[in-house]
Structure 1
């Protein structure tokens, strides 16, 4: 199972806090932020953290109170998510993804020129 398949969209909100802080984060700090930004209840947040710990995506450390740190980097998660999407939607073919973006008008002329310059490197 890939990292992308392990982390739900709700759990990703917890991970974003941990990645952003770059240090162990207490449950209270996570709860305060997610209650404010998402309106989630304490029990929901506790469940998300427990699931992430059970999946071994985060680690809990006792520092007076529990503090959480990610076991995977954000870049590793993004890379896994990208590959999962390409595999799922484009049979693992990145060229088909880029072609689809071009066909659907999702890339501007400036984007296309920038990509051309990138590939000339």
Structure 2
């Protein structure tokens, strides 16, 4: 099983289905909680200049949230993701609450499909 955590689709992340289980925290797109749209040209130039020294600078904030959220799944065992056909369906609360599975480390090995979860921090 390959589980993928999409936190930056359409910007630095890869859109589309990439794993057996695809998790989409907060819809899976930028802007993730704690990140800012206030990225200046200077931030981008600094990111390019320091990419080999600091691999995940501020400009990649939403992208690096996938790692932070997975770590959160190890430390907090109460994170449930819900199977849903799309982020629009999830936003409209049209997902079946009975299709919930543990997010991250404890994802069942037989799980497959797209799952959405709200993670605040």
- TM-score normalised per structure 1: 0.26
Structure with more contact order per residue of length (Cα contacts < 8 Å, sep ≥ 6): 2
Query: Which structure has greater helix proportion?
Result: 1
- TM-score normalised per structure 2: 0.26
Query: Which structure has greater strand proportion?
Result: 2
